[in-house]
Chains A and B, each alone.
Chain A
Amino acid sequence: MTDYRGIFADGLWRNNVVFAQMLALCPLMAVTSSATNGLGMGLATTAVLLTANIVIASLRHLIAQEVRIPVFILLIASLVTLADMMINAWLHELYKVLGLFIPLIVVNCAVLGRAESFASRQPVLASAADGLAMGLGMTLAMVAIGGCREILGSATLFAQASLLLGDGFAFLETTLIQDYKGFLLMLLPPGGFLVLGFLLAGKRVMEQRRERVKSAAAAVAGQAGSPTN
Chain B
Amino acid sequence: MIGERLTPETRQTVGYHVALLGGVALLVSAVIGIADALTRADIAQRQLEDLQATLQQVVPAKYYDNDLVRDVVVVQDGGRALRVYRARRDGEVRAVSFQVSAPGYGNTAMLIVLGIDRAGTLLGVRVVSHSETPGLGDKIETRRSDWILGFDGRSLNDPPPAGWGVKKDGGAFDQFTGATITPRSVVHAVKSGLEFFAAHRAELLDESPTLLPSPRAEVGMREPQP
Contacts and interface: CB of A to CB of B under 8 A. Distances in A.
Contacts, number: 73
A188 interface: yes
B42 A71 contact: no
B134 A61 contact: no
B1 interface: yes
A21 interface: no
Contacts of A71: 20-21, 24
Contacts of B31: 78, 82
A64 B1 contact: no
A74 B25 contact: yes
Interface string A177-188: 000001010011
B17 A64 contact: yes
Contacts of B25: 74
A82 B35 contact: yes
Interface in B10-24: 11-12, 16-17, 20-21, 24
Interface in B40-59: 42-43, 46, 49-50
Main SS of the interface on chain B? helix
B42 A61 contact: no
B156 to A, nearest CB: 34
Contacts of A184: 133-136
B39 interface: yes
Given A66-B17, A74-B28, A61 B12 contact: no
B36 interface: yes
B221 interface: no
Interface stretch (A87-95, A134-142, A204-212, A218-226): A87-95
A104 interface: no
A90 B2 CA distance: 37
A173 to B, nearest CB: 14
Contacts of B17: 64, 66-67
A88 B46 contact: yes
Contacts of B136: 184
Interface in A58-87: 60-67, 70-71, 74-75, 77-78, 81-82, 85-86
B81 interface: no
A120 interface: no
B90 interface: no
Interface string B63-103: 00000000000000000000000000000000000000000
A70 B25 CA distance: 10
B135 A62 contact: no
B6 interface: yes
A156 interface: no
Nearest to B44: A89
A45 interface: no
A64 B16 contact: yes
B162 interface: no
Contacts of A66: 12, 17
Nearest to A91: B46
Interface of A: 33, 60-67, 70-71, 74-75, 77-78, 81-82, 85-86, 88-90, 92, 95-96, 182, 184, 187-188
Interface of B: 1-4, 6, 11-12, 16-17, 20-21, 24-25, 28, 31-32, 35-36, 38-39, 42-43, 46, 49-50, 133-136
Given A65-B11, A96-B50, A182-B135, 16 more contacts: A62-B2, A62-B3, A66-B12, A71-B21, A74-B24, A77-B28, A78-B28, A81-B35, A82-B31, A86-B39, A88-B43, A88-B46, A89-B38, A89-B43, A92-B46, A95-B46
